[in-house]
Chain A
Amino acid sequence: MTARRFDAMVIGGGLVGSAIAWGLRREGLSVALLDEGDAAYRASRGNFGLVWVQSKGLGAPWYQRWTRQSAESWAALADDLAKQTGQSLGLSQPGGLHLCLSDREMNERAERLEQMKREAGNYGFDYRMLDAREAREMLPGLGPAVVGASFTPYDGHVSPLALLRSLHHGFAALGGVYLPNVKIMGVATAPRNFLLKTNLGTIQAERAVLAAGLGNATLATHFGLKAPVRPQRGQVLVTERTRAALPMPTTTIRQTGEGSIMLGDSVEEVGFDTRQSQPVMAEIAHRAALCFPWIGKLNVVRAWSALRVMSPDGLPIYDQSETLPGAFTANCHSGVTLAAAHGKLLAPMIARGELDPFLAPFSAKRF
Chain B
Amino acid sequence: MFRTRPDHRPETVQVFVEGRALMVPEGSSAAAAMLIAGLPAMRETAVSGSPRLPWCMMGVCFDCLAEIDGVANRQACMVPVAAGMRIARQHGAREVPR
Contacts and interface: CB of A to CB of B under 8 A. Distances in A.
A115 interface: no
B47 A259 contact: yes
Given A258-B46, A259-B46, A240 B96 contact: no
A294 B93 contact: no
B76 to A, nearest CB: 13
Contact of A258 (B47, B62, B73): B47
A241 B98 contact: no
A294 B94 contact: no
Nearest to B62: A301
B47 A242 contact: no
B46 A299 contact: no
Nearest to B98: A294
B68 to A, nearest CB: 12
B7 interface: no
B97 interface: yes
Contacts of A186: none
B8 to A, nearest CB: 32
A128 B95 CA distance: 31
Given A141-B98, A241-B46, A294-B98, A259 B73 contact: no
Chain B contact residues, majority secondary structure: loop
B74 to A, nearest CB: 8
B73 A240 contact: yes
Contact of B95 (A141, A243, A258, A299): A243
Nearest to A245: B96
A258 B48 CA distance: 9
Classify chain B: how many residues form its interface, as a range.
10 to 19
Contacts of A242: 93-96
Interface string A208-249: 000000000000000000000000000000001111010000
A241 B83 CA distance: 29
Contacts of A297: 97
Contacts of A243: 92-96
Interface in A130-177: 141
A298 interface: yes
A301 B73 CA distance: 11
Contacts of A294: 96-98
Nearest to B73: A240
Interface in B31-70: 46-47, 62
A241 B94 contact: yes
Interface of A: 141, 240-243, 245, 258-259, 294, 297-299, 301
29 contacts: A141-B96, A141-B98, A240-B73, A240-B94, A241-B46, A241-B47, A241-B93, A241-B94, A242-B93, A242-B94, A242-B96, A243-B92, A243-B93, A243-B94, A243-B95, A243-B96, A245-B96, A258-B46, A258-B47, A259-B46, A259-B47, A259-B93, A294-B96, A294-B97, A294-B98, A297-B97, A298-B97, A299-B73, A301-B62
* Those 3 A-B pairs whose CB atoms lie nearest each other, nearest first: A241-B46, A297-B97, A245-B96
